[in-house]
Amino acid sequence: MYQLIEFGKAFLVVVNIFFVIYLIGYSTYLFLCSIIGNLTLFQQRNYRKLSNKLQDDYYVPVSILVPAYNEELTVVDTVKSLLELNYRLYEIIVIDDGSKDKTKESLIKYFNMVKIDRPIRRQIKTKNILEIYETTDSPIKVTLVCKENGGKADALNVGINVAEFPYFTSIDADSMLQYDSLENIVKPILEDERVVACGGVVRIANGLELEDGKVNEYHLPKGILTSMQVLEYDRSFLASRILFDQFNGNLIISGAFGLFKKDVVLAAGGYDHDTVGEDFELVIKLHVFCRMHKIDYRIRYVSDAICWSQVPTTVKDLMKQRRRWNKGLLQGMMKYKELFLNPKYGLISFISFAYYLLYELFSPFIEFFGIFTMIASYFLDLLNVPFMIIFFLIYVLFGGILSLCTFLSRLHIENIKLSFYDVVKAILLCVFEITILRFIVLLARFSAFFGYKKHKNEWDRVERIQIKYKSSKIK
């Protein structure tokens, strides 16, 4: 018995040391991401000042896919924002995935769409298409495809089949693009013919009002939970994705805004129906497909291609969203588990995949277990309490400062002015974001593992709110 107790104490000490190293590793990662992200953005900003804009005859034809399911509150404003992009060669395809509300009717009425007969080549197998509508008086063609319900991945595959252009971008029906977003996201393709996919920046649209595709005035959202997500999003998109972009190691292109080379996606098999993280799965699939077929490729991240998207406003909806994200992460990593520590995939295996495995997928287990062992160590008098308190305070303060720095640098680079009240609010919330919001997210990720087999393909929809878009050109 004595030996068992001593073994238990030694085990707790080892776990506590591992947990401290784990947190130090995460903090170091955030620090490196923040430094590299800010340096890269400032270099890009200076480069843009010296270089000329794209000439009119250098536009890449792009099909914009908008999958929609019960999006009557947001889909019209989304299409309105897309019609005012500063771009010449593009089409808009809205895929109504068997909506039960008035998504179809609202689009047909607002844009004066008419039903057409159009043959579609099914290069990817999908659910049946029921009806197709098109605009007749718009300079940019808007197509509405009504289909049987099959999920977001199936809707996107239908959009790929319908798309006429060699590149396509997908955005969510509750999102809006800035006027220059499409122009910016195609730049890597013009600069490097090896690029097969690009990811843009997703920023939070709650409380935002766009006019003619531009932000006239910016404020942090009123809700505390939503404001904390602003800090979280800016740190994620500014920091880690720029770091991974340095070695072609990005594994995620957000479903809210990404650009893809159509023929490569078709060759790889399109979006996977059997996952709720179709965006994550597709990007890993492209990495694997290109390497297996010895295709010299690049998957890029574009820091100035901005998509404004809604985020959950309640804890319940936030947990639904993050639970779905973690299920999609689990499905993608299980499907492509051969990437882990596989020299054939280089830094993608040893850095990107390992990071998502350790600090994203398994972080709920590691962190909750770490907290439990520290509590046990305290009661067994194995814990240096003053050291741990100081350590956690430094960890929280360090993480909060990094979140605040990435948020403020993003605003500075985009020339967005912030009121004194919003600056104070961001300073106060940066500490709560790294603690309270992180704890909520950990709970959501943890819960994703329970009942996974039974609910693995459930979407867990969240409530939408009306987004605001003003246009001086469109009625």
Of 22-31, 350-359, 399-408, give the range with the top mean pLDDT.
Answer: 350-359
Distance of CA 27 to CAs 21, 369, 372, Å? 10, 19, 21
Please give the average per-residue pLDDT across 14-43, as a whole number. Answer: 78
> Residue 368: pLDDT band by 50, 70, 90 thresholds?
confident
**Angle of helix 278-292 versus helix 315-335 axis, rounded to 10:** 20
Q: How many residues does the chain have?
A: 475
pLDDT at 147: 94
* Most trustworthy range by pLDDT among 20-29, 316-325, 409-418: 316-325
Between 387 and 76, name the one with better pLDDT: 76
Predicted pLDDT of residue 55: 46
Dihedral Cα 423, 425, 426, 432, nearest 10 deg? 160
The strand pair at 129-135 and 142-147 is best described as antiparallel
Could you tell me the pLDDT band of residue 48, with boundaries at 50, 70 and 90?
Answer: low
Least confident of 45-49, 215-219, 385-389, 463-467: 463-467
Closest by CA position to 169, among listed 78, 251, 61, 84: 61
Indicate the pLDDT class of residue 461, thresholds 50, 70 and 90: low
Q: Mapped to the 3 state alphabet, what secondary structure does 216-260 carry?
A: CCCCCCCCHHHHHHHHHHHHHHHHHHHHHHCCCCCCCCCCCEEEE
Which of 30, 142, 139, 166 has its CA nearest to residue 92?
142
Q: Inform me whether the pLDDT recorded for 93 exceeds 90.
A: yes
Weakest-pLDDT range from 65-74, 112-121, 280-289, 378-387:
378-387
The residues, any chain, with a CB within 8 Å of residue 60's CB and separated by 6 or more, are 89, 166, 167, 186, 189, 190
Question: Per-residue pLDDT tens for 273-297?
Answer: 888 888 899 999 999 999 999 999 9
pLDDT in tens, 49-85: 555 544 445 678 999 999 999 888 888 988 988 998 9
- Per-residue model confidence as pLDDT tens digits over 148-195: 999 899 999 999 999 999 999 998 877 888 888 898 999 999 889 999
pLDDT at 341 over 80: yes
Output the average pLDDT for the chain: 84
What is the predicted pLDDT for the residue at 78?
87
In whole angstroms, what is the distance from residue 413 CA to residue 418 CA?
A: 13
Region of 341 (left: φ > 0; alpha: ψ -120 to 50; beta: rest) is: left
Mean pLDDT of 336-349: 91
Residue 393 has pLDDT above 80, yes or no: yes
